[in-house]
């Protein structure tokens, strides 16, 4: 599992952007399918995208909490370039934190079209 | 101790070191004379790769100059419309497929091992095989223009123009088959480089100390695995439509040309970042060297590389804003296209901040680096403009887009690469390029580029469409086009200055580490020493040459790991991915013609197939498979003469590792990830048809039914179970049981393959009738071929067991084949579920 880990790995690093990718794919596929069937109504899809967005942001928040712990809760500042287990862990935690921020912004970006567009035209 | 004893000790030490150097030199010695082309060492193959890719760049550049000459004045008749179509198609194709991507692989193959203090990458013969594939496929595609047979449908080959064999000739087949062949080389390089970065780092080079170039290579390798396979899947569908009339993209028979656009751009947009990131990676190495300080914001660069790698996959449909997608779909792609500007911008701020915080010294590489940033920022800004769908509707297919894409690619890829050429030239050739000629080259290229492409924004906004071979007078385009042409030739003059500087004799010899850089590739003093690095140092910092005192002297004295080649074999260290703890001394294979022979035969299959010489193509392909098997049999998973050896510094390491500890297992895992992506792309095609048809499967289709697909899945899973049993039996020493299980696995896999094909066959699905029939056929063929390849691998293991190549303790092959089996079983299961069960659900 990538959550609830004591050690940061490359997989925990890749978790937040993977959440973005799945959210993006879900929003795109859901809208494409809805528009293929009934060309003008997007109501349920917009709700579904809203729920997916909340879920995705929740997963990113969990990843953030874990990464913050791996980072040592800010006990030490970057560059984290010592040849120790501790600095390797803090570096991965820090990079994951940054990716959480980017992924959260990208998820919100992907959700915005569903806020503003109400039909398939 | 007396002075005489000290002298004797010193003399003995020196004699020992001399002997070590001689043995290392003998093991790594380059093949010369007629065997020169048997070389597989990364230093030689990397150089061939770079020279070849650069030659393709010059070729595509000449095509561009001919186009600019044609467009210099209105109503020009220098070339015909037909020739012009071939020119722009080949220009785009060659620049992207034969220059931009291969030059990344080339540079990485050349410098990555040195940066990681590895003697070579883990699969040198695979690199050589990739190179030969690239050379053969590249010459085939490029050479077609001399016979007037070049592809002429644009570098993205949109159907239905290109699926109609009356409207597009053999050029389209050359494009499809030639490039598919080259994509094999790209995936081979991705496998090699990912395993190289993760498993071949020097002891102590933890993931937080890795050179940033390594991070970029890792990300880009991963991107190749997810970006290239959709194109390969698309190529398969496309070629089946052209050769066998299977209507994947024919709207009249249930297909859809837009499916091709999706598959092409799912490849095509990440591709832009696949060529951008490795070039920016060069800047991430150059900027700290010239700022005289470590990079500021290492973690932020990792964020940017990973973030760009992911986000770049959410942009593909912004190339398709004008096809009539629902506005909400356009919104998603527009949003992701804007979001990707964030990580891209982060990298640029990191570079600027590092320069500001350091004491920057200027040299030719920095000139190109700053020029790159200026041009790229401009291209990025127009990118933000065209990412907005309403603006894109206005600018689409106009010269505005031509200007935008050249600003991003030349600023983001070409100029950083030029910086890299000036920076790494002493490392590769041992001589310094001239700073004076460098300034000339830079200003000619920089000025020429802007003179050529800046006016194109206006030309485009004034309505000039792309890909027109000429234009009438009095539309306000004449002066702008003439200026662009003058700029293009100015830029070409800059390239010529660089070329002259590289080729001219009598350049001064470079001192060791001429830029006073901090990373390990600059340990290499004399590029004629074949061993890469004299001894592999323990690393404890990001810039070892700056931060670890006495390191260079220790390396040269052979004080660290692997200072010797006692058994006369080529060896390099393998370590674990996170903390780079040494795990194994890996023996890498030496020079051989086998990779070249395999590439020629496999290439022959593609090339002969293009011209419909089916029997010859089949024979060439079978011979190619035979050549690959011979290469594997003689050169891989070799059982060492002793289980472990002294790796230096008091460390003893095993010589053989199998399962997840072996580099081959990782290579199989990575290859099959790419293979899985291609399969998912085909499945995507199936569901894409489902979304565009009101009734799917269509009413006429009575297949493939339940019986045969489910039997096929059952047989496939039984074969997989037999493989697991074989692995377990072999590991516990029950060799006879393992052999029996392997034979059983072969039988089951063969039965599964046959049952898959029997499904659509027995239920009368006609692949030329409707896209549904065709996509079902493609999916079952894909699954059947995976079963058949599995049979070949199982047979290989069985033969290995009888020949003594594979034993209970030496089971690399069996473990790798079982790993393949996991993926093949998943493929069979998914195929069965999609073709047999999904129709029930819909």
Domains detected in chain B: 683-841 (1.20.120.80)
Residue B531 has a pLDDT of 86
Contact A14 B306 (CB under 8 A): yes
| Residue B570, token pair as written in the block | 């080529």
Q: Which of A21, A95, A117 is the closest to B303 by Cβ?
A: A95
Residues B129/B598, Cβ–Cβ less than 8 Å: yes
Contact B206 A83 (CB under 8 A): yes
Residue B396: Cβ within 10 Å count: 18
Residues A105/A20, Cβ–Cβ less than 8 Å: no
Q: Number of folded domains in chain A?
A: 1
Average pLDDT of chain B? 94
Contact B339 A106 (CB under 8 A): yes
Residue B487 has a pLDDT of 98
pLDDT bracket for residue B362 (50, 70, 90)? confident
Which of A48, A81, A119 best tests the B interface by mutation, with the highest count of B CBs <10 A? A81
Burial classification of residue B478, based on how many CB atoms lie within 10 Å of its CB (0-12 exposed, 13-18 middle, 19 or more buried): middle
Residues of B in contact with A78 (CB under 8 A): 297-299
Do the domain assignments include residue A19? Answer: yes
Give the CA distances from residue B585 to residues B30, B561, B644, in Å, rounded to whole numbers and listed in that order.
21, 10, 8
Contact B332 A27 (CB under 8 A): yes
Report the residue of chain A nearest B578, measured CA to CA.
A9
Q: Which of B299, B342, B578 is the closest to A78 by Cβ?
A: B299
Report the residue of chain B nearest A101, measured CA to CA.
B303
Cα–Cα distance measured from residue B657 to residue B809, given in angstroms and rounded to the nearest whole number? 9
Q: What is the mean pLDDT of residues B54-80?
A: 96
pLDDT exceeds cutoff 70 at A38: no
Residue A34 has a pLDDT of 84
Do the domain assignments include residue A36? Answer: yes
A31 Cβ under 8 Å from any chain B Cβ = yes
Cα–Cα distance measured from residue B41 to residue B591, given in angstroms and rounded to the nearest whole number? 7
Residue B555 has a pLDDT of 92
> Whole domain around residue A93: which residue ranges?
10-116
pLDDT exceeds cutoff 60 at B1: no
B204 Cβ under 8 Å from any chain A Cβ = yes
pLDDT bracket for residue B439 (50, 70, 90)? very high
Do the domain assignments include residue A50? Answer: yes
Residue B398 DSSP label: B
Residue B37 has a pLDDT of 94
H-helix or E-strand spanning residue B386: helix B364-386
Q: Which position has the token pair 């100015």?
A: B490
Cα–Cα distance measured from residue B305 to residue B310, given in angstroms and rounded to the nearest whole number? 9
Burial classification of residue B36, based on how many CB atoms lie within 10 Å of its CB (0-12 exposed, 13-18 middle, 19 or more buried): exposed
**pLDDT tens per residue, range B554-610:** 999 999 999 999 999 999 999 999 999 999 999 999 999 999 999 999 999 999 999
pLDDT exceeds cutoff 90 at B4: no
Do the domain assignments include residue A107? Answer: yes
A47 Cβ under 8 Å from any chain B Cβ = no
Residues of A in contact with B318 (CB under 8 A): none
Do the domain assignments include residue A1? Answer: no
B331 Cβ under 8 Å from any chain A Cβ = yes
**pLDDT tens per residue, range B718-740:** 999 999 999 999 999 999 999 99
A79 Cβ under 8 Å from any chain B Cβ = yes
A26 Cβ under 8 Å from any chain B Cβ = no
Cα–Cα distance measured from residue B112 to residue B109, given in angstroms and rounded to the nearest whole number? 6
Q: What is the mean pLDDT of residues B150-165?
A: 90
Residue B299 has a pLDDT of 93
Q: What is the mean pLDDT of residues B272-292?
A: 95
pLDDT bracket for residue B360 (50, 70, 90)? confident
Q: Where are the alpha helices (DSSP H) in B732-765?
A: 735-762
Residue B2 has a pLDDT of 63
User: Chains A and B: how many Cβ contacts under 8 Å?
Assistant: 128
Residue A1 has a pLDDT of 58
A109 Cβ under 8 Å from any chain B Cβ = yes
Residue B273 has a pLDDT of 94
Q: What is the mean pLDDT of residues B505-531?
A: 87
Nearest residue to B634 (alpha-carbon basis) of B584, B598, B667: B598
Q: What is the mean pLDDT of residues B770-798?
A: 96
pLDDT exceeds cutoff 70 at B650: yes
Residue B505 has a pLDDT of 92
Q: Which residues 6+ apart lie within 8 Å of B803 measured at CB?
A: none
In terms of residues, how long is chain B?
A: 842
pLDDT bracket for residue A39 (50, 70, 90)? low
Instruction: List the single range of B519-528, B644-653, B661-670, B762-771 with lowest mean pLDDT.
Output: B519-528
Which of A17, A38, A74, A116 best tests the B interface by mutation, with the highest count of B CBs <10 A? A17
Identify the three-state secondary structure at position B585. strand
Residue B841 has a pLDDT of 83
Residues A91/B207, Cβ–Cβ less than 8 Å: yes
Residue A43 has a pLDDT of 84
Do the domain assignments include residue A105? Answer: yes
**pLDDT tens per residue, range B626-646:** 999 999 999 888 999 999 999
pLDDT bracket for residue B416 (50, 70, 90)? very high
Interface of B with A in 342-401 (CB under 8 A): 342-343
CA B505 to chain centre: 33
Do the domain assignments include residue A3? Answer: no
CA B557 to chain centre: 37
**pLDDT tens per residue, range B216-242:** 999 999 999 999 999 999 999 999 999
B297 Cβ under 8 Å from any chain A Cβ = yes
**pLDDT tens per residue, range B123-149:** 999 999 999 999 999 999 999 999 988
Give the CA distances from residue A71 to residues A59, A84, A92, in Å, rounded to whole numbers and listed in that order.
18, 14, 7
Do the domain assignments include residue A121? Answer: no
Q: Which residues 6+ apart lie within 8 Å of B12 measured at CB?
A: none
pLDDT bracket for residue B530 (50, 70, 90)? confident
Q: What is the mean pLDDT of residues A77-89?
A: 90
Give A39 or B71, the one with higher predicted confidence. B71
pLDDT exceeds cutoff 70 at B367: yes
Contact A42 B307 (CB under 8 A): no
Residue B639 has a pLDDT of 92
């Amino acid at each position: 599992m990538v959550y609830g880990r004591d050690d940061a790995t490359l997989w925990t690093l890749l978790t937040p952007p993977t959440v973005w990718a799945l959210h993006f794919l879900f929003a795109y596929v859901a809208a494409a399918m809805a528009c293929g069937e009934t060309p003008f109504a997007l109501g349920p899809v917009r709700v579904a995208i809203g729920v997916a967005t909340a879920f995705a942001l929740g997963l990113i928040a969990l990843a953030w909490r874990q990464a913050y712990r791996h980072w040592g809760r800010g006990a030490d500042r970057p560059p984290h370039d010592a040849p120790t287990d501790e600095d390797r862990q803090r570096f991965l935690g820090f990079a994951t934190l940054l990716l959480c921020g980017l992924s959260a912004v990208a998820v919100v970006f992907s959700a915005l079209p569903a806020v503003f567009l109400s039909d398939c035209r | 101790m007396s002075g005489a004893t000290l002298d004797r000790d010193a003399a003995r030490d020196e004699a020992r070191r001399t002997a070590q150097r001689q043995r290392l030199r003998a093991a790594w010695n380059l093949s010369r004379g007629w065997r020169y082309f048997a070389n597989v060492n990364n230093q030689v193959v990397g150089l061939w790769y770079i020279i070849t890719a650069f030659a393709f760049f010059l070729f595509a550049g000449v095509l561009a100059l001919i186009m600019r000459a044609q467009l210099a004045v209105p109503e020009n008749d220098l070339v015909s419309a037909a020739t012009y179509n071939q020119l722009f198609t080949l220009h785009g194709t060659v620049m992207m497929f034969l220059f931009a991507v291969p030059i990344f692989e080339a540079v990485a193959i050349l410098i990555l091992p040195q940066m990681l203090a590895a003697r070579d990458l883990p699969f040198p013969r695979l690199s050589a095989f990739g190179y030969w594939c690239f050379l053969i496929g590249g010459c085939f595609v490029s050479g077609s223009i001399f016979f007037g047979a070049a592809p002429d449908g644009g570098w993205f080959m949109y159907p239905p123009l290109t699926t109609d064999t009356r409207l597009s000739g053999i050029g389209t087949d050359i494009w499809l088959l030639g490039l598919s062949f080259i994509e094999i080389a790209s995936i081979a390089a991705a496998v090699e480089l990912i395993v190289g970065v993760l498993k071949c780092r020097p002891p102590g080079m933890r993931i937080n100390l890795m050179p940033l170039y390594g991070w970029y290579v890792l990300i880009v390798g991963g991107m190749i695995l997810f970006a290239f396979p959709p194109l390969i899947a698309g190529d398969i569908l496309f070629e089946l439509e052209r050769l066998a009339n299977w209507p994947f993209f024919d709207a009249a028979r249930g297909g859809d040309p837009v499916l091709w656009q999706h598959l092409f751009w799912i490849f095509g947009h990440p591709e832009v970042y696949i060529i951008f990131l490795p070039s920016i990676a060069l800047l991430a190495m150059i900027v700290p060297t010239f700022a005289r300080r470590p990079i500021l914001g290492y973690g932020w660069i990792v964020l940017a590389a990973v973030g760009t790698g992911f986000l770049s996959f959410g942009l593909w449909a912004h190339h398709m804003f004008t096809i009539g997608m629902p506005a909400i779909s356009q919104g998603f792609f527009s949003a992701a296209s804007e979001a990707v500007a964030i990580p891209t911008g982060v990298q640029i701020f990191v570079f600027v901040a590092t320069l500001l915080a350091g004491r920057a010294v200027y040299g030719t590489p920095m000139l190109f680096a700053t020029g790159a940033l200026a041009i790229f920022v401009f291209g990025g800004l127009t990118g933000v403009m065209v990412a907005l769908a309403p603006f894109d509707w206005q600018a689409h297919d106009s010269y505005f887009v031509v200007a935008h894409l050249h600003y991003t690619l030349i600023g983001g890829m070409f100029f950083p690469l030029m910086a890299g050429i000036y920076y790494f030239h002493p490392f590769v050739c041992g001589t310094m390029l001239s700073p004076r000629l460098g300034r000339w080259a830079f200003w000619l290229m920089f000025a020429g580029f802007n003179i050529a492409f800046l006016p194109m924004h206006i030309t485009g906004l004034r309505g000039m469409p792309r890909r027109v071979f000429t234009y009438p007078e009095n539309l306000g385009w004449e002066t702008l086009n003439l200026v662009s042409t003058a700029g293009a030739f100015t830029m070409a003059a800059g390239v010529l200055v660089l070329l002259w500087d590289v080729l001219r004799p009598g350049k001064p010899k470079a001192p060791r580490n001429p830029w006073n850089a901090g990373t390990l590739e600059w340990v290499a003093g004399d590029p004629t020493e074949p061993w890469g690095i004299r001894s592999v140092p323990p690393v404890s910092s990001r810039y070892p040459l700056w931060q670890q005192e006495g390191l260079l002297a220790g390396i040269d004295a052979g004080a660290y790991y692997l200072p010797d080649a006692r058994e006369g074999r080529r060896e390099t260290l393998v370590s674990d991915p996170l903390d780079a703890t040494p795990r194994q001394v890996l023996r890498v294979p030496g020079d051989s013609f086998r990779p070249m022979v395999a590439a020629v035969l496999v290439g022959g299959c593609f090339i002969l197939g293009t011209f419909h010489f089916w029997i010859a193509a089949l024979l060439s392909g079978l011979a190619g498979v035979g050549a690959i098997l011979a290469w594997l049999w003689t050169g891989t998973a070799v059982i060492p003469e002793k289980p472990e050896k002294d790796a230096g510094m008091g460390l003893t390491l095993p010589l053989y590792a199998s399962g997840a500890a072996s580099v081959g297992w990782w290579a199989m895992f990575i290859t099959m990830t790419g293979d899985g992506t291609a399969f998912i792309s085909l499945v995507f095609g199936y569901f894409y048809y489902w979304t565009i048809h009101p009734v799917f499967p269509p009413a006429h289709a009575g297949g493939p039914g339940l019986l045969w697909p489910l039997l096929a899945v059952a047989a496939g899973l039984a074969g997989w179970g037999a493989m697991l049993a074989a692995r377990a039996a072999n590991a516990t020493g029950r060799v006879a049981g393992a052999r029996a299980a392997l034979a059983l696995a072969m039988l089951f896999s063969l039965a599964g393959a046959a049952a898959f094909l029997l499904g659509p066959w027995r239920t009368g699905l006609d692949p030329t009738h409707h896209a549904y029939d065709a996509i079902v056929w493609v999916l079952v063929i894909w699954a059947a071929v995976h079963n058949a390849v599995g049979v070949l691998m199982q047979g290989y293991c069985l033969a290995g067991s009888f020949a003594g190549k594979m034993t209970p303790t030496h089971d690399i092959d069996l473990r790798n084949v079982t790993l393949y089996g996991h993926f093949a079983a998943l493929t069979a299961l998914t195929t069965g579920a999609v073709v047999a069960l999904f129709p029930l659900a819909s």
